[in-house]
């Protein structure tokens, strides 16, 4: 099981680093004016990918014919959400993005 990614400040120069758990090895260094926000987003990436996969599975399992559910992925909003999740997962995993979709 992978360890959570964390944001840490280097004591040498104050730059931010994203590392995995308590390991010395780091994922990346983050620079720039939005480094705190960017480091937080990078550190959250594994969790966001896992949540996106769960959400995509949930959309796949919704029966659009059941009135107690929203109209599911067959609606315009559902199709957009499904495509956005599918493309985000594909981008994170390094697989092809569907033609015509914004990246």
Tokens for 12?
A: 């040498």
- Least confident segment among 1-10, 47-56, 92-101: 92-101
For 49-77, write each residue's pLDDT tens digit: 999 999 988 877 775 555 455 555 556 77
Task: Give the whole-angstrom CA distance, residue 52 versus residue 89.
Answer: 7
Query: Smallest Cα–Cα separation from 18: which of 37, 48, 101?
Result: 37
Cβ neighbours of residue 18 under 8 Å, at least 6 residues apart? 5, 6, 7, 8, 26, 27, 28, 30, 39, 42, 43
pTM value is 0.69
Helices H / strands E in the chain, number of each: 2, 3
């Amino acid at each position: 099981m992978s360890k959570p990614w964390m944001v840490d400040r280097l004591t040498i120069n104050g730059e931010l680093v994203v590392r995995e758990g308590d390991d010395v090895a780091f994922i990346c260094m983050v620079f720039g004016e939005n480094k705190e926000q960017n480091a937080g987003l990078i550190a959250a990436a594994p969790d966001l990918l896992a949540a996106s996969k769960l959400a995509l599975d949930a959309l796949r399992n919704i029966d659009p014919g059941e009135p107690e559910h929203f109209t599911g992925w067959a609606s315009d909003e559902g199709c957009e959400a499904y495509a956005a999740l599918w493309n985000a997962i594909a981008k994170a995993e390094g697989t092809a993005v569907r033609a015509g979709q914004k990246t």
